[in-house]
Amino acid sequence: MLRDLFINFCLLSTFLFFGDMALNILRNHFKASPIWLNLASGIGLGMFGIVQLIFTFKLQNGILLDFRQLSIIVAASVGGPWAALIASLIIATGRVLIFGGITSASIIGVVATLLTFVLVFPAFLLKGSFRLKWTVAAISTTIVALALLLYRLGLGGLPIIMLLAALQVISCVFTYYMVRYLRETREMHDMLKQEIEHDFLTGLYNSRGFESRYRLAIASGSPFALLLLDIDHFKKVNDTYGHPAGDAVLEQLGKIVREYVRKVGCASRKGGEEFAVILRPCDSKRAIETADRLRRKIEETPFLLPDGRLIHITISVGIGLYPTFSESQLVEETDRALYRAKQEGRNRGVLAV
């Protein structure tokens, strides 16, 4: 039995690790929507539940035990109720079609699987910590498994039932810590990625983030526009009101730019008072109109300083187009257009030609 337990834990660890890796690939590289991620979680954990049916614990009286309920609990914790339902249906179907057809044992197995879903689903709707939800789900499913085994074996099977209870507790605790570790690792990775690619003051992409998005835009092969924005006379803001006031202006400007381009592109703070916006896809007419609307929006918006005073600022904008300019020329030519906008009086946009 110890051999079977070791094999099950090895399978569980391997599947959780590579399953989490696969979900991260779908999430980060293929930008899969939450619906597709939940669907993939349900299907994957359902198939793994069938694998768990294969690697059973062989006890006395021909009793076979397995950890299928863990797949359903994990599906609910990772993908929500729909993932848990999909996993449950796949496991129940597999129990009948693959393992002996319709028999009293398979019917009990299907009932146990569906009851597991019925109990796990509300457990993860509870308010509270992940540990609380997992504990409620684990205890309720363990009670169901013990009750069904008691129904089949009677009081004479109490030793086997107590053994099952011990195995259930060990497996639930082991799986909980595995899932929690993977969750915390992913959250830490996302947090580090956020800090690496985003500017701490404005929340926009930083220079590293801009370079990454710029390369993606080039790789797409689609036409796009690059806007380089610079705050006019920003040094006067710092000199007159102090650097905390300058930071407040940058923070509020970053919010305006982010909200304005959120649906049409991405924005970054390249450094100091200079910002960059990538608009995809975009032609010259749309780029000029977008730049002018954004410029007027900033000109009309009062900026609140830490001491309660309100000031107004303006920006100058350089506008460049790809593939009018090549990858190596676009940033340089757009920067030249920004310089011309400042030379021509500021508070305006200039198209690179």
By annotation, the residues acting in catalysis are 273
How far from chain centre, in Å, is Cα 192? 14
- Compute φ and ψ for 276, nearest 5 degrees: -130, 140
Residue corresponding to tokens 């000109």? 299
Which of 51, 67, 44, 75 has the alpha carbon at shortest distance from 174? 67
- Compute φ and ψ for 65, nearest 5 degrees: -115, 150
Which token pair is 294?
């954004």
Question: How many Cβ atoms from other residues are within 10 Å of residue 120's Cβ?
Answer: 28
Cα dist from 309 to 60, 185, 242, 299, whole Å: 81, 44, 13, 16
Q: Classify residue 75 as exposed, middle or buried by CB count within 10 Å of its CB (0-12, 13-18, 19+).
A: buried
